[in-house]
């Protein structure tokens, strides 16, 4: 039982990292960025390229190399997210939302099949965190899981502080509420939106490297399913809400772990998307997505 909880929280922390970018972008420009899962995939490939370039990494250095690859992949995916926004989404700002949504689907395919053209075969991730396991309270916990989860939690805490305590974070929340009002406060809205894409994409890239290192195999469609699951997580938590995305990710991981345990592994994804449908029809604002009532 506790094993299920731990496994669920572990997978959920990946979902949460990806869901954050989904939710941040939706919050600030009301766009469901369907290309977000592919940024996660590109993070995995960027990490793969960096680690392959370093060459024969000995086991002792694997964690150091992995952190290095993580940072490099975050920089690459962050930059890519900014580029996608600049090229594909900014020219359409102010257009009907459906137009931007379809563009996002187009960007998603472009990224997927761009990577496929560059080398479609599934790759084996060159570094795997050594899986030394401990038994804690009857739960099998590996060093790899612990390290990856610590990184994920660290990134989430850093993001939460950034959004809630810094001037740019405040500007992000202001744009989410009222872009025109933010303009009149002297906020360079374009720059803040770029930064939001950078951060959200970098988090997805980090999750991609972590998933590569943990599961050991990467391929160009790996972002598709996790993109949809991250969307589910974001909806569960209340889309646009940062803490909601974290909560939704962890909760979805838990639900999946239990669902797969009791229904059988082949029902995992069916269960996940059934949860999405239930949330969209019963509580579309999500768990934390309630707005303060406004007096006029």
Q: Which residues sit at the interface with other proteins, rule CB under 8 A?
A: 167, 170-171, 173-174, 177-178, 180-189, 291-296
Question: Is 60 or 296 the residue whose CB approaches other proteins more closely?
Answer: 296
Contact by Cβ (8 Å): 17, 152? yes
Q: How far is the CB of 170 from other proteins (least distance, A)?
A: 6
DSSP for the chain, please give it: -HHHHHHHHHHHHHHHHHHHHHHHHHHHH----TTHHHHHHHHHHHHHHHHHHH-S--GGGHHHHHHHHHHHHHHHHHHHHHHHIIIIIGGGTTS-HHHHHHHHHHHHHHHHHHHHHHH-S-EE-S------EEEETTEEEEHHHHHHHHHHHHHHHHHHHHHHHSHHHHHHHHHHH-HHHHHHTT--HHHHHHHHHHHHHHHHHHHHHHHHHHH-EE-TTHHHHHHHHHHHHHHHH-TT-HHHHHHHHHHHHHHHHHHHHHH-GGGHHHHHHHHHHHHHHH-TT-SS-PPPP---
Q: How far is the CB of 158 from other proteins (least distance, A)?
A: 20
Question: Is 84 or 182 the residue whose CB approaches other proteins more closely?
Answer: 182
Question: Is 129 or 171 the residue whose CB approaches other proteins more closely?
Answer: 171
Q: How far is the CB of 168 from other proteins (least distance, A)?
A: 9
Smallest CA-to-CA distance from 195 within 290, 296, 295, 81 is with 81
DSSP for 105-171, please give it: HHHHHHHHHHHHHHH-S-EE-S------EEEETTEEEEHHHHHHHHHHHHHHHHHHHHHHHSHHHHH
Give the residues across from 217 on adjacent strands: 124
Question: Is 3 or 168 the residue whose CB approaches other proteins more closely?
Answer: 168
Question: Is 68 or 179 the residue whose CB approaches other proteins more closely?
Answer: 179
Question: Is 177 or 225 the residue whose CB approaches other proteins more closely?
Answer: 177
Question: Is 159 or 175 the residue whose CB approaches other proteins more closely?
Answer: 175
Question: Is 60 or 292 the residue whose CB approaches other proteins more closely?
Answer: 292
Q: How far is the CB of 184 from other proteins (least distance, A)?
A: 5
Q: How far is the CB of 237 from other proteins (least distance, A)?
A: 16
């Amino acid at each position: 039982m506790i094993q299920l909880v731990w496994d669920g929280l572990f997978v959920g922390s990946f979902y949460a990292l990806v869901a954050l970018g989904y939710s941040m972008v939706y919050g600030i420009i009301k766009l469901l960025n369907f290309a977000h899962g592919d940024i996660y995939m590109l993070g995995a490939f960027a990490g793969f390229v960096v680690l392959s370039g370093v060459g024969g990494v000995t086991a002792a250095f694997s964690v150091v190399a992995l952190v290095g690859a993580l940072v490099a992949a975050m920089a690459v995916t962050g930059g890519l997210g900014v580029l996608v926004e600049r090229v594909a989404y900014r020219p359409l700002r102010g257009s009907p939302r459906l137009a931007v949504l379809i563009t996002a689907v187009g960007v998603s395919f472009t990224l997927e099949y761009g990577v496929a053209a560059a080398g479609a075969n599934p790759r084996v991730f060159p570094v795997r965190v050594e899986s030394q396991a401990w038994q804690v309270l009857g739960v099998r916990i590996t060093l790899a899981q612990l390290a990856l989860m610590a990184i994920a939690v660290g990134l989430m805490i850093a993001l939460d502080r950034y959004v809630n305590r810094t001037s740019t974070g405040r500007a992000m929340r202001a744009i989410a509420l009222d872009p025109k009002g933010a303009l009149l406060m002297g906020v360079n809205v374009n720059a803040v939106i770029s930064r939001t894409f950078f951060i959200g994409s970098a988090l997805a890239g980090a999750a991609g490297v972590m998933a590569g290192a943990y599961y050991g195999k990467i391929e160009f469609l790996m972002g598709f399913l996790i993109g949809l699951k991250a969307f589910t997580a974001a909806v569960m938590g209340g889309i646009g809400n940062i803490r909601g995305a974290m909560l939704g990710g962890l909760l979805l991981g838990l639900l999946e772990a239990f669902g797969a345990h009791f229904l059988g592994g082949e029902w995992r994804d069916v269960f996940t998307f059934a949860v999405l449908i239930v949330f969209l029809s019963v509580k579309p604002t999500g768990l934390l997505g309630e707005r303060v009532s406004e007096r006029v």
